[in-house]
Amino acid sequence: MTIHKEGYKIIFIFFSLLFGIATVINVFAPDQTVVHYIIYFVFTLFWFFIIRFFRVPSRNYILDEKTVLSPADGRIVAIEEIENSEYFGDRRKQVSVFMSINNVHFNIYPVSGIIRFFKYYPGKFLIAYNPKSSLENERTTLVLERNDHRMILLRQIAGAVARRIVSYVAVGNEAQQCQQFGFIKFGSRVDVILPLDAEIKVEINQKVKAGLTVIAVF
């Protein structure tokens, strides 16, 4: 396991803040008491929670051109047919993965292809499993074109706690299946918009792992 690069600054800031507070407490109350030890314990737990949030576990990814892999760790909260007017202008299948604060928060390309579209949208910070979050929250949208010319749309959605979406995406670049394309800081959601001929392989409330769980096949 390693720490994601997006976490370096935040981990350092929180460590400095907690260390500073502990130092001030000891300046004004130098005699060590049970209260001091409780504060140290709580601060240590909080700091390790921040480190845990930015963890990147070691994984042996399953690469297969016929499959669409989960782009994120989390739980399936939506499987439905939708009318996608944002890019395609037709009906598509949508699979949504909700990422809680206990999940790792890097996102990977579920398929290989060429990036044909990318856009950032400012917005609200509704709870990420709310259906309205797909169109009203802060979010990014990218579209991948596979070698067989099937198009897949990915949508990173900020949640009630998340306040920053990071994307390493540029239109025209080649995307490799299981390559990281972004990170969402704290609770969030990723939507995968698929052609109607995609056969969905997951169920509502199923737990999924980025790059390991197959969510659809062609």
Q: Which of 147, 156, 146 is nearest to 187 (CA)?
A: 156
Cα three-residue angle 66-68-71, rounded to 5 degrees: 150
Question: Angle of helix 8-28 relative to helix 34-53, nearest 10 degrees?
Answer: 170
Give bridge partners of residue 74 from the DSSP assignment. 208
Q: One of 70, 96, 133, 188 is an active-site residue; which one?
A: 188
Q: Are 200 and 189 in contact (CB under 8 A)?
A: no
Q: Any catalytic annotation for residue 188?
A: yes
DSSP 12-31: HHHHHHHHHHHHHHHHH--S
Q: Cβ(97)–Cβ(75) under 8 Å?
A: yes
Class of residue 85 by CB neighbours under 10 A (exposed 0-12, middle 13-18, buried 19+)? exposed
Q: Which residues are designated catalytic?
A: 188
